[in-house]
Amino acid sequence: MDAYKVDFHIHTNYSDGLATPVEIVKKAKELEYDMIAITDHDGIDGINEALIAGETAGVKVVPGIELATETEEGIGLHILGYYFDHKDTHLNAVLAALKERRENRNNQLVAVLREMGYDISMEELLERQPNGFIGKPVIARLLAEKGYVGHYKEAFKKGQFLGSDEARKIKKEKILASEAIELIKGAGGIAVLAHPIQTRGVGEPGSEEFYNNMDTIIRRLKIQGLKGLECYHPDQDHEQTMRFVEMAEKYHLHITRGSDFHGKDLADAEPTA
């Protein structure tokens, strides 16, 4: 069978990515992708630009989103949504509420970092992220730019900066995974569990305990309306990928692939198994 080149997990500068939707689409055309999905965090503001660019370039663009959620037990999960109506009234109302929560959290994070002696401000962050989405990676990049850390990933070290106890106490308010699935379904889309290997609090990733607990979680999500599983992701090696493929087949879920790209040039997207 003919193979399709796809990437169903891409972030733009409408969330914490560095490239514009148009830049992503143009590079996808150059790299001969058949289909891509724009999946910005908790927002859909870049979708229209991507759809128009896709029509012009001849690249199939799927409307997408990545929602930060948690289970009833407090296990954090990211739910991807695809093929939904991005103009859906209820969807947009929920996203507006999530935006307000995020802004409140960011103001608290900046205040904590300033108390630690790091001279950063919301004004500086918004200058670097003109579309208004400020996530922790954006804050980390500013800390690196100002010389407080050598590389932005150092800002997440346990006990320091964003990894400090003070910063970690400022929790992101999340919706339930079941609510996210229903929200996507209500807008006519399908819900997919993102990068399952990143799930914490269910055992050492890759252990049998981990896989058994993930099986239980995925089975419950399936009952709640989950339609797919991101089996192919840069953080999942071949063995882990195959275990998730088995789970997807067991529960009759779509198998998806995503690079989880956040950079400037799509050519630098990490490969998957």
pLDDT band at 2 (very low <50, low <70, confident <90, very high): low
Q: Is pLDDT above 50 for 93? A: yes
Q: Give the global pTM.
A: 0.93
| Closest of 95, 93, 63 to residue 80, by C-alpha | 63
Residue 128 has pLDDT above 90, yes or no: no
Q: Hey, how many other C-beta atoms are within 10 angstroms of the C-beta on 93?
A: 11
CA-based end-to-end distance of the chain: 19
Longest dimension (CA), the chain: 59
Mean pLDDT of 211-230: 98
pLDDT at 190: 98
CA distance 203 to 200: 7
Mean pLDDT of 203-221: 98
Amino acid 6 reads: V
What amino acid is encoded at 5 in this protein? K
Average pLDDT over residues 119-129: 93
pLDDT at 130 (0 to 100): 79
Residue 1 banded pLDDT, cuts 50, 70, 90: very low
Residue 173 pLDDT greater than 90, yes or no: no
- 4 or 59: which carries more pLDDT confidence? 59
Query: What average pLDDT does this structure show over 132-138?
Result: 90
CB atoms closer than 10 angstroms to residue 163: 15
Mean pLDDT of 206-210: 97
pLDDT band at 171 (very low <50, low <70, confident <90, very high): confident
Whether the per-residue pLDDT at 127 is higher than 70: the answer is yes
Look up residue 118 and give its two tokens: 């790091």
Query: What does the pLDDT read at residue 73?
Result: 96
Cα 261 to Cα 25: distance, rounded to the nearest angstrom: 13
Mean pLDDT of 177-185: 98
pLDDT of residue 3: 74
Rounded (10°) CA dihedral 69, 40, 244, 214? -10
As a whole number, the mean pLDDT across the chain is 96
For 127, other C-beta atoms within 10 Å of its C-beta total 10
Average pLDDT over residues 148-155: 94
- Quote the pLDDT of residue 243: 98
